[in-house]
Amino acid sequence: MKKRFGVLRALAAIFKILGIVVAALSVLGGLITFVVSVAGGDMFSSMGIPAAGGALAGLAGGFLIILVGALYALIMYGYGELIMLMVSMEDNTFRTVKLLEDVVKEDKPA
């Protein structure tokens, strides 16, 4: 039987891949933010945060970037799984209808 809903399957795969990429980039961004703030970068001093609080602000900012990025990645990956769940439900329903139609055809007298 031909696979139906090819576009939805591709869209689900794209959402899953994007979710993984977003998770990796958020971890990388959080680590870079922390390293730049500890290394004495001027990233936070341009925002008015004193140089002594840069490491703490970098730690908080890095953690926040990782947390928000992980949440967004989880939502994207979950959305891809939700699309696949709906496609699977439709596929199972379609197969059940076909099976029931075959059973009804066999039960009918000639």
- What whole-number distance in Å separates Cα of residue 106 and Cα of residue 110? 9
Domain segments of the chain: what residues?
A: 6-107
Q: What is the average pLDDT across 78-105?
A: 93
Q: What is the average pLDDT across 92-109?
A: 87
**Residue 59, pLDDT score:** 85
- What whole-number distance in Å separates Cα of residue 78 and Cα of residue 20? 11
pLDDT tens sequence across 31-67: 998 888 777 656 666 667 666 666 787 788 899 999 9
Burial of 107 (0-12, 13-18, 19+ CB in 10 A): exposed
- pTM for the model stands at 0.77
Q: What is the average pLDDT across 80-108?
A: 91
Torsion of CA 26, 32, 37, 38, to 10 degrees: 120
